Amino acid sequence: MRPISYTRAGTLEAAVKAFTAAGADARYLAGGTTLYDLMKLGVERPAHLIDLTGIAGLNIIETDGDVLRFGALALMGDVAYTPAVHEGYPVLSESLLKAASQQLRNMATVGGNLLQRTRCMYFRNGAGSTSTVGVYPCNRRQPGSGCAAIGGLDRGHAVLGASDACTAVSPGDWPVALMAMDATIELFGPGGARSIPIAEFYRLPSDTPHLQFNVDPAELITAITVPKTPGRASTYHKIRDRESFAFALASAAVAVEMDGATVRTARIALGGVATVPWRAQPAEDMVRGKTLTPELALEAGRAAFRGARPGQHNAFKMDLGARVIADALMIAAERRS
């Protein structure tokens, strides 16, 4: 048995102080739905847990100001069902409601969702795994050990943003929606408060796939803000092996401003197909200023996958992803007021 110390912090300052004092083996704890899972698998082996749930104000949901503001500890379910979010920003609400299960959404936080690790089975095959074939190499879990997914079972893996060191997919739905909505992440750490656009939050795997986020380990997420965008219609469209309680094979978050049938602006992000939440700018460029038809929407979807690098078993994601973008564009455009 490995001893683990536990601290319930009452303030942001106390949390950061406890983390800094504990060193590299510390982890912040929110809902625990990912962290405990990975601890049981032996992938995460923290010696110190710093529980954030005692910090007042971190679970706020504000919709009255200039921006939508979600405290990092706001629950996925609570954010999804907030009327102003559910009605005015369906892309946000749908990305949360199509994730996990209601039980998980009642426990899991919107901040923890941003920091979840990949569901790649080779990554999750840690020292606590019950696999009979031993622990697979994984550069993300153990830098320099190799990547069993390359040349292995890669049906669920990335076709965009992969490197020779890692092809694991970024699993979250919510970050994909935040990418389409230009969200900003607010942080607090040893150097004080700062914020970072969601587009700069995630790192491509390159040759350092173990470094997933552009955040100092001692920094904690305090809030997520989303600009208000009246006039934008949106949707989150997710295709998975079963219609509930499954991660995306391909998903698209789309937010459009329409002028009749003409697309004035489009923001499109992809999930389930890339190593990070993926902005599909070529698809956006293809529809901007044009009359939206199903044919143009599919052409835009295909443009998003130019340059994609499929592995052995995941080439189907290029066609699936293109069709998901096309459908999402048509759904969002239909919703224009």
* Residues of the shown chain interacting with ligand FAD in the complex, contacts defined by CB under 6 A: 27-35, 37, 52, 72, 76, 99-100, 104, 108-109, 111-113, 115-116, 171-174, 220-221, 247
Pairing assessment for the beta strands 26-29 and 48-51 based on DSSP bridges = parallel
Angle formed at CA 66 by CA 63 and CA 72, multiple of 5 degrees: 50
Smallest gap, in angstroms, from Cβ of residue 308 to ligand FAD? Answer: 22
Q: Which is nearer to ligand FAD, 29 or 166 (CB)?
A: 29
Least separation in angstroms between residue 172's CB and ligand FAD is 4
Minimum CB separation of residue 104 from ligand FAD in Å reads 5
Strand 48-51 versus strand 5-8 pairing type = parallel
Nearer residue to ligand FAD within complex by CB, 52 or 160: 52
Q: Considering the complex, what minimum distance in angstroms separates the CB of residue 173 from ligand FAD?
A: 4
Least distance CB 6 / ligand FAD (angstroms): 13
Tell me the residue number closest to ligand FAD, measured at CB: 112
Whole-angstrom distance, CA of residue 252 vs CA of residue 137 = 31
Beta-bridge mates of residue 43: none
- Residue 26's φ and ψ, nearest 5 degrees, are -90, 150
**Count of H helices and E strands in the chain?**
11, 12
CB 219, min distance to ligand FAD, A:
7
Nearer to ligand FAD, 24 or 133 (CB): 24
The residues pairing with 221 across neighbouring beta strands, listed in sequence order, are: 187
Report, in Å, the least distance between residue 95 CB and ligand FAD: 7
Instruction: Determine if residue 260 is left, alpha or beta; phi over 0 gives left, psi from -120 to 50 gives alpha, anything else beta.
Output: left
Find out whether 329 and 256 touch, Cβ atoms under 8 Å: yes
Q: 220 vs 318, which CB is nearer to ligand FAD? A: 220
Structure tokens at 248: 């995306």
Q: Which residues, at least 6 apart from 149, have a Cβ–Cβ distance to it below 8 Å? A: 120, 122, 157, 166, 167, 168, 311
Residue 214: how many other CB atoms lie within 10 Å: 12
Nearer to ligand FAD, 179 or 220 (CB): 220
Task: Decide whether 29 or 326 has the Cβ nearer to ligand FAD.
Answer: 29
End-to-end CA distance of the chain: 59
Closer CB to ligand FAD, 302 or 317, in the complex: 317
Least distance to ligand FAD, CB of residue 88, Å: 21
Q: Please provide residue 68's backbone torsions phi and psi, each rounded to the nearest 5 degrees.
A: -80, 135
Burial class (CB in 10 A: 0-12, 13-18, 19+), 128: middle
Nearer to ligand FAD, 218 or 304 (CB): 218
Considering the complex, what minimum distance in angstroms separates the CB of residue 116 from ligand FAD?
5
Nearer CB in complex with ligand FAD: 27/232: 27
